[in-house]
Structure formats: structure tokens, C-alpha cells
Amino acid sequence: SQQGEEDPQALSIQEGENATMNCSYKTSINNLQWYRQNSGRGLVHLILIRSNEREKHSGRLRVTLDTSKKSSSLLITASRAADTASYFCATDQGGSEKLVFGKGTKLTVNP
Amino acid sequence: DAGITQSPRHKVTETGTPVTLRCHQTENHRYMYWYRQDPGHGLRLIHYSYGVKDTDKGEVSDGYSVSRSKTEDFLLTLESATSSQTSVYFCAISDRPGETQYFGPGTRLLVL
């Protein structure tokens, strides 16, 4: 079963706007990760946030984590056409060797 | 990019034939994973390895077997391919359990 579920499934915005994607999960976690996948390519790791962290930044990316609500959000500021991709969250289910991925949010940034 | 390659990158095969996909890494990472990606299902774990000769099942392991005889290679075998195994297969590696994974470019498999 899917641990992480992203919302929305698809998002279309204009270049320069901010994009926000959400992830909900069910069990306790040690960390939550976000990945990007460009069409036809492998996934690329974006950012990892640990269960004792509430917010993390990397360039134009901002990730928040609310363990009480079992949810995370990924904010991409000042979106560019090159940000067009699918974005996945993944969780470790509390220390497992495995990650469980959500089904992803497909982001389209229109020039 | 992490040094991960997958071969073949594309394959067309017939139902009932065995198929082996190879994942090769040059990073000396302990953990290796095989996923399949299908529309509507996201990424699902097939099998993974936590060391040479140490493997375990994932969420969708039926019809698949794996082997890891050396650190750098992780093989996925479809014992008798079925049309339901048409998918894109990704290999991933990690040096710590549950931490960042680095993905290969994928193998597109079509079973006719």
C-alpha cells in the first residue's frame, strides 16, 4: 500500500508563480524525502527532512513537515519552465531499509 | 550523477520467455533496489538487497527473482514474462537504509 499520497495529482501554473504540493503519510517516520522525475528519466533526490525538523530550504525549494498531522509540503518558489516534472514524496516507515513512494504530483509550468 | 547504469535500456520480449535486467553501480553502496513504475501506481518496490547475497522481497515480488553476487551488480529476473510485467523498471542505490536513493535511467520492458 502507498505510504505517501501527494496532492494535487496535477498542477498547472505560469512561470514565476509558486507551486505547492502536499504529501500525507500514515505511519511514523524517521525522515521524509522529495524526488523529481523528468519525463522518461529516473528520479532525482531533492531534499530530505528528518522527523525532528519542521522546515528545510534548498535553493528555491522549501519543505515543511508536520508529524502531528503526518503531512509535508513542498514549495517551489518563482517556478520556471524547467521545473516541469513529476514530484514524489517518499517515507522510510520509521527506520525501514525501504522507502515507500507516493503516486506523485505532475507539475506543468507554462512559459 | 551517481554511477548507476541499467541494461538493457529497452527490451521487447514475448510472453513466457525469461528476461534478466542488470543494474550496475560504481559507488560501492550497500543497498540496491528494483522498482517498477506504472501509470496510476507510482513507484513500487519489487526486491531489494542489503548486501552481497542478501536480498528481500518488496511489495510486488511475485514473478520476479533477484541475485547479487557482487557489490556492484544487482540482477532482476522475470522467470516467465507476462504482459502484466510490461513496465518501466528502475534500479536505485543507497549507502544507508531509509536514506537518499540514487536512481538509474530505467529500462522500458514490453512483453507481447
pLDDT (tens digit per residue) in A38-94: 998 999 999 999 999 999 999 999 999 999 999 999 999 999 999 999 999 999 977
Q: At CB < 8 Å, which residues of chain A contact B?
A: 2, 30-31, 33, 40-45, 48, 88, 90, 92-93, 95-104
> What is the per-residue pLDDT for A4?
67
What is the grid cell recorded at A2? 502507498
Q: Which chain B residues are closer than 8 Å to A36 by Cβ?
A: none
> What is the per-residue pLDDT for B2?
64
The whole-number average pLDDT for the span B35-64 is: 94
The whole-number average pLDDT for the span B28-32 is: 96
What is the distance in angstroms between the Cα of B89 and the nearest Cα belonging to chain A?
10
> Residue B53 — very low, low, confident or very high, per pLDDT cuts 50/70/90?
very high
User: B46 and B58 in contact (C-beta within 8 Å)?
Assistant: yes
Q: How far apart are CA B49 and CA B71, in angstroms?
A: 10
A78 residue type, one letter: A
The whole-number average pLDDT for the span A90-110 is: 90
Q: Is the pLDDT of residue B52 over 70?
A: yes
Which of A87-96, A98-107, B56-65 bottoms out in mean pLDDT, i.e. has the lowest?
Answer: A87-96
Q: How far apart are CA A93 and CA A51, in angstroms?
A: 11
> What is the per-residue pLDDT for A79?
97
- Sheet hosting strand B4-7, strand order edge to edge: B4-7, B19-25, B73-78, B64-70
Q: Is the pLDDT of residue A1 over 70?
A: no
Whether cis (ω within 30° of 0) applies to the bond prior to B105 is no
* Best mutation target, B10, B30, B101, B108, to test chain A (most A CBs within 10 A): B101
Q: Is the pLDDT of residue B47 over 50?
A: yes
The whole-number average pLDDT for the span A17-27 is: 94
Q: Which chain B residues are closer than 8 Å to A97 by Cβ?
A: 31, 48, 50, 56, 97-98
B48 vs A96: CB contact, 8 Å cut-off? no
Q: Is the pLDDT of residue B4 over 90?
A: yes
A2 vs B42: CB contact, 8 Å cut-off? yes
Q: What percent of chain B has pLDDT over 90?
A: 93
B50 vs A48: CB contact, 8 Å cut-off? no
> What is the per-residue pLDDT for A40?
86
Q: Is the pLDDT of residue A2 over 50?
A: no
> Residue A6 — very low, low, confident or very high, per pLDDT cuts 50/70/90?
confident
Q: How far apart are CA B67 and CA B55, in angstroms?
A: 8
A97 vs B98: CB contact, 8 Å cut-off? yes
Q: Is the pLDDT of residue B1 over 60?
A: no
